[in-house]
A and B are shown apart, each in its own frame.
Chain A
Amino acid sequence: MEFFVQILINGLNIGFLYGLAAMGFVMIFKSSSVLNFAHGELLAFGAFFFLTLVSAAKLPLPVAFMGALALCFALGFVVERIFLRPLIGEPLIYVIMLTVGLASIFKGLMLLVWGGNLYMFPPILPAKLSITFAGITIPPVYLLSTSIGILFLIFFGLFFKYSSQGIYMRSVADNQSAALSLGVHVRRVFALSWAIAALVAGMSGIVLGIINGVNVHDLSSIGLKVFPVVILGGLDSIGGAILGGVIIGLLESFTGGYLSASLKDVVPYMALIVILIIRPYGLFGLVEIERV
Chain B
Amino acid sequence: MNDKPLLQVNNISVVYADVIQVLKGVSLAVKRHQIVSLLGSNGAGKTTSLKAISGLLKPENGKVTEGTILYNGDNIQNKAPEDITRKGIIQVLEGRQPFKYLTIEENLRVGTATRWGKPYREDLDMIYEYFPALVPRRKSMAGYCSGGELQMLVMGRALMAHPDLLLLDEPSLGLAPLVVKEIFKIIKQINEEQGTTIILVEQNANMALQIAHFGYVMENGKIVMEGESKELKENPDVKDFYLGMGTRGDTNSYRDVKAYKRRKRWL
Q: Identify the A interface with B (CB < 8 A).
A: 89, 164-165, 167-168, 170-171, 174-187, 286, 289, 292
Contact = CB atoms under 8 A, between A and B. Distances in A.
B90 to A, nearest CB: 7
Interface string B138-159: 0001011111001000100110
Contacts of B116: 164-165, 168
B101 interface: yes
A178 B99 contact: yes
Given A165-B116, A181-B93, A289 B100 contact: yes
B56 A180 contact: yes
B145 A177 contact: no
Given A167-B102, A170-B101, A170-B102, A181 B145 contact: no
B149 to A, nearest CB: 9
B102 A181 contact: no
B32 interface: no
28 contacts: A167-B109, A168-B110, A168-B116, A171-B102, A171-B106, A171-B107, A174-B99, A174-B100, A174-B101, A175-B99, A177-B59, A177-B97, A179-B113, A180-B56, A180-B59, A180-B82, A181-B54, A181-B81, A181-B90, A182-B90, A182-B110, A182-B114, A182-B161, A185-B82, A289-B100, A289-B143, A292-B143, A292-B146
Given A170-B106, A174-B100, A177-B97, A183 B161 contact: yes
Given A89-B59, A168-B113, A181 B91 contact: yes
A178 B141 contact: no
Given A184-B113, A186-B82, A289-B100, 15 more contacts: A171-B110, A174-B102, A175-B99, A178-B99, A179-B113, A181-B91, A181-B92, A181-B93, A182-B90, A182-B110, A182-B111, A182-B161, A183-B82, A289-B144, A292-B147
Given A167-B109, A178-B93, A289-B141, A183 B114 contact: yes
Contacts of B61: 89
B56 A181 contact: yes
**Most chain-B CB neighbours within 10 Å: which of A170, A171, A183, A286?**
A183
B97 A178 contact: yes
Contacts of B145: 292
**Most chain-A CB neighbours within 10 Å: which of B61, B99, B114?**
B99
A182 B114 CA distance: 7
Nearest to B141: A289
Contacts of A187: 82
Contacts of A286: 101
Interface in B198-218: none
Nearest to A189: B113
A170 B97 CA distance: 14
A253 B158 CA distance: 51
B85 A182 contact: yes
Nearest to B84: A183
Interface string B118-145: 0000000000000000000000010111
Given A174-B99, A177-B93, A185 B113 contact: yes
* Complex A-B, nearest 8 residue pairs according to Cβ-Cβ distance, in ascending order: A183-B85, A289-B143, A183-B114, A174-B99, A178-B97, A184-B113, A171-B110, A183-B113
A175 B112 CA distance: 16
B181 interface: no
Interface string B80-98: 0110011000111100011
Contacts of A89: 59, 61
Contacts of B100: 174-175, 289
Contacts of B56: 177, 180-181
B93 to A, nearest CB: 6
Given A289-B144, A292-B144, A180 B99 contact: no
Contact of A182 (B101, B146, B150, B157): B157
B98 A178 contact: yes
Contacts of B147: 292
Contacts of B111: 182
Contacts of A183: 81-82, 85-86, 90, 113-114, 161
Contacts of A184: 110, 113
A180 B102 contact: no
Contacts of B158: 181-182
Nearest to B158: A182
A176 B82 CA distance: 13
Contacts of A178: 93, 97-99, 154
Contacts of A182: 85, 90, 110-111, 113-114, 157-158, 161
Contacts of B157: 182
Contacts of A165: 116
